[in-house]
């Protein structure tokens, strides 16, 4: 999980560096294209029969929404202070909890709702609507988090039928052409060092996803999730050293509130999953509680 977190942190930094000379639409395409090249050797070892699916329309919808989430997130990384963009991205699990109740019918109890409310308070502390510090850019970062939550719910629905590797393969196969179409309208070939940044974004982004998946197979969510918060001080430090960004106290306070809410949500889900595994079926609690 620590290696995954560092990969995602490096990906955010390379996206920021690439955005100095390339449009966000192009960066998203190159991230997906080189990500596909990275993951193909892993998938080619799989049994072809395991990669078949009957859910192609649902994959298209999932990937279409995912592209919008990616574009919003990449724009935020390229135009907002890195620490602020990453802090708002951590609000996604809060929206996942809400959507799980609405779209999947999962039963969410009082303590989880309290954590969701706490997460919203953290978002408001960072965004500060109505203040002089409020910008439309923070809403774009927040839109990325909401759309990412929708994608997470869709992945959960797809995983009921298809294997994880099947989901990964079709995600990238759809992402590449879907991200190419808007990129063509602003196309400009990367020059010099920009090639390094876009290739690195694809490599580290895909590497982070693979490592994150393996981490969750090996350990408990409640123990691993706090490790992912290391990404925030990492990008904040780089933002200060390389880009001269100063993170205000409100961003740190809001980020702390969001991370505390996420840690509790992850803890509750892990506890309920263990209870589901050990109790009788009629007494088992749903993971969404």
pLDDT in tens, 193-210: 999 999 999 999 888 888
| DSSP per-residue string spanning 203-253 | HHHHHHHHHHHHHHHHS-HHHHHHHHTTHHHHHHHHHHHHH-----HHHHH
The token pair at 160 is 């009921």
Residue of 30 and 42 predicted with greater confidence: 30
Q: What is the pTM of this model?
A: 0.83
Name the residue with tokens 């002089």. 132
Mean pLDDT for the stretch of residues 120-133: 80
Which of the listed ranges 43-52, 116-125, 156-165, 206-215 does the model predict with the highest average pLDDT? 116-125
At 225 the pLDDT is 66
Residue of 259 and 42 predicted with greater confidence: 259
Report how far apart the first and last C-alpha atoms of the chain are (Å, whole number).
25
| DSSP per-residue string spanning 46-64 | S-GGGG--S-HHHHHHHHH
The token pair at 279 is 């109790």
Mean pLDDT for the stretch of residues 143-150: 90
Count the neighbouring beta carbons within 10 Å of the beta carbon of residue 203. 19
pLDDT grade for 57, boundaries at 50, 70 and 90? confident
Mean pLDDT for the stretch of residues 93-102: 83
3-state secondary structure 106-122: CCCCHHHHHHHHHHHHH
Task: Give the Å distances, CA to CA, from 143 to 13, 65, 76, 85, 238.
Answer: 20, 11, 10, 11, 24
At 94 the pLDDT is 83
Q: Are 286 and 276 in contact (CB under 8 A)?
A: yes
């Amino acid at each position: 999980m620590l290696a995954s977190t560092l990969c995602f942190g490096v990906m955010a930094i390379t996206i920021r560096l690439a955005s100095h000379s390339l449009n966000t639409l192009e960066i998203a395409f190159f991230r997906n294209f080189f990500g596909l090249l990275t993951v193909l050797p892993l998938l080619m070892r799989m049994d072809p029969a395991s990669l078949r699916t009957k859910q192609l329309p649902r994959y298209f919808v999932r990937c279409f929404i995912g592209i919008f989430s990616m574009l919003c997130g990449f724009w935020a990384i390229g135009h907002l202070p890195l620490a602020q963009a990453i802090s708002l991205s951590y609000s996604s699990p809060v929206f996942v909890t809400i959507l799980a109740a609405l779209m999947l019918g999962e039963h969410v109890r009082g303590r989880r709702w309290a954590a969701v409310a706490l997460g919203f308070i953290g978002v408001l502390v960072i965004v500060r609507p109505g203040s002089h510090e409020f910008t439309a850019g923070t809403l774009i970062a927040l839109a990325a988090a909401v759309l990412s939550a929708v994608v997470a719910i869709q992945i959960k629905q797809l995983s009921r039928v298809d294997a994880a590797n099947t989901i990964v393969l079709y995600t990238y196969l759809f992402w590449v052409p879907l991200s190419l179409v808007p990129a063509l309208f602003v196309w400009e070939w990367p020059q010099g060092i920009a090639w390094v940044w876009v290739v690195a974004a694809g490599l580290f982004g895909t590497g982070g996803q693979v490592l994150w998946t393996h981490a969750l197979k090996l350990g408990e969510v409640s123990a691993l999730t706090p490790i992912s918060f290391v990404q925030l001080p990492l990008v904040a430090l780089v933002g200060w050293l390389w880009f001269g960004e100063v993170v205000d106290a409100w961003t740190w306070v809001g980020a702390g509130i969001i991370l505390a809410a996420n840690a509790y949500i992850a803890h509750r889900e892990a506890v309920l999953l263990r209870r589901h595994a050990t109790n009788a079926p009629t007494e088992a609690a749903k993971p969404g509680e």
